[in-house]
A and B are shown apart, each in its own frame.
Chain A
């Protein structure tokens, strides 16, 4: 920034393009400095820590290179990590598509004209402002530190018991255990999915509003049914957002207060086992990144970009 200004004052003739480039650097200079210190260096260090035995010394972190020992420990010795990781990955795997379908469905509904639309939108975006914090944890009935039965009772009081009562009311008794567990899982997950789709609905809604009216008119002229309209007009137009939402959903699951893998990492850190914690974080991150990359590569083939 200063550089560019000084040169201008001295009257050194600089080609317009080059001068503009200097201004470009000027605009992002502050961010570049910050990113170096608060993102890139920590990122590299964290990778480095995962290959080291880390301890706190006076004035700096002490590291001793141990190679892949930490990864070995995390994957083979740590009692909880692999279980948590498997559960978490599985959950992400089946939950993400459901969240996407659900949020698209809701966005299509909220895009229609009806009375009370503003109120409905306000309600459906509520999770955006609440679901990211520890409030969600309490709402979801997961009192991690106490693990008391009361909390569990509270979380299931509504979903499970109500479903059970409804079934009894309808005269359905003596369902097999498996069946009733299945029903309660579904009921529990509706809660989770609804609460995880706030931002996704917002993005899809934005995309739906950007569908040109001409496309809609043309479809109407040709006599398209709502069903055909959805598959031939809506879906192609929102397809770029399916990818964006997919990535967002996966990233969001990282920061979810319910993420057990991240919880485990935090515990390791509190025990000052920095090397192990870093290795855990990197394994998780690498797997998810690879999965997202793979899906992106596949999905990209089916996306309709208007411009190109």
Chain B
């Protein structure tokens, strides 16, 4: 850094001097005032020391984040007796797949995974579409009451689900037209799908906001060209805007999948027998108690139970972690590029 900035400033006077870079630099240093030299020296020192500190900071904090994951893996593949063995810290003494298998059966993992994926992918998909359409409406059209309606979007971000969960439960329990008919939607997937289709699913307020910002950032000329060619607004949206919004769609979709995956509040409110992975993990304690710990033949101390809990954690984050590793770019760069940066 020192060289380049110096060179840019002073190089004109040096041209034709026929000096080697080292000599040129020396001469430049001589021409500087003490203040300038001090600045450059401090800067050089800072640049030498800082990477070391940066490494220490990042390494330490990175470890804080990775530590639970490493611990999870370590616990999953050890026997429960290793938990009470004080010599075992990270590397298990006895490797076994037993714990993993038992946890899979306790969580009924494959069926649960199937249900979760069905809910997750489907809901995320329809919700991304509905939120994109809504966001586009807010971004590009002027209509009466727009400010008020957008205020409602902000409210949707602010109001915690817990506040509206109770009446929503009642609404799904007696779904229909008052006095005519009502059906019980509790424990069906409609309780997740209906809000998602209409852009009211988990964190949809945030998604509408992201899409609004994104579409506002696209050049207006795109649409004007389409309008002049005789394309209506809806066709313009489908033919012109959607192809341009590919990465935004993917980013929001990924976040939506993550949010649905991790949600247990909404699903435990509306589902009684339908199981999702997050809900299963939440109730893992009870499941394990029923299936494993209650047997009279073996005694399992609370500390040993951790093995199964960690295995459950590992199971439930693996799919989403795999997604994250494969599409990391869209998670980390997508949000910054497509939208929300313009708050």
Question: Which residues of chain A have a CB within 8 Å of any CB of chain B?
Answer: 17, 20-28, 30-35, 37-43, 45-46, 49, 56, 59-61, 106, 109, 112, 114, 118, 120-130, 132-135, 137-139, 143, 145-146, 148-151, 153-154, 158, 190-191, 194-195, 202-203, 205-207, 209-210, 220, 223, 225-226, 240-241, 244, 247, 251, 254-255, 257, 262, 265-266, 269, 274, 277-278, 281-282, 285, 289, 292
Q: Which residues of B are interface residues toward A (Cβ below 8 A)? A: 5, 36, 39, 42-43, 46, 51, 54, 57-58, 61-62, 64-69, 130-131, 133-134, 136-138, 140-144, 146, 149, 152, 155-168, 170-171, 173-174, 178, 182, 194-195, 197-200, 208, 233-234, 237, 258-259, 261-265, 278, 281-282, 285-286, 301-306, 309-310, 312-313, 316-317, 320-321, 324-325, 328, 331-332, 335-337, 340-341, 343
Q: CA–CA, A207 to B343, complex, Å? A: 10
- B200/A43 in contact, CB under 8 A: no
A-side binding surface: helix, strand, loop or mixed? helix
- Shortest C-beta distance, B181 to chain A (Å), equals 10
- Residues of chain B within 8 A (CB-CB) of A194 are 61, 64-65
Chain B residues near A266: list those with CB within 8 A: 162, 265
Provide 9 A-B residue pairs closer than 8 Å at the C-beta atoms, listed in order of the A residue.
Answer: A23-B141, A26-B137, A35-B200, A37-B171, A38-B171, A123-B66, A128-B331, A129-B331, A254-B160
Q: Name A59's contact: one of B68, B182, B340 (CB within 8 Å).
A: B182
**A143 with B167, Cβ < 8 A, contacts A134-B264, A206-B335, A206-B341 known:** no
Indicate if the CB atoms of A135 and B317 lie closer than 8 Å. yes
Chain B residues, Cβ within 8 Å of A223: 36, 39
Tell me, in angstroms, the Cα distance from A120 to B61 when the chains sit together.
Answer: 10
CB–CB A205/B336 < 8 A: yes
CA distance A205 to B324 in the complex (A): 18
**In the complex, what residue of chain A is closest to B145 when comparing beta carbons?**
A25
Q: Is the CB of A30 within 8 A of B146?
A: no
Residue of B nearest to A20 (CB): B141
Query: Which residue of the partner chain, among A25, A34, A121, contacts B198 with CB atoms under 8 Å?
Result: A34
Add 16 more A-B contacts to A30-B134, A45-B170, A124-B62 (CB < 8 A). A17-B142, A21-B143, A23-B234, A26-B234, A38-B168, A121-B332, A126-B324, A129-B258, A138-B312, A150-B305, A154-B303, A206-B336, A220-B5, A240-B343, A262-B265, A285-B159
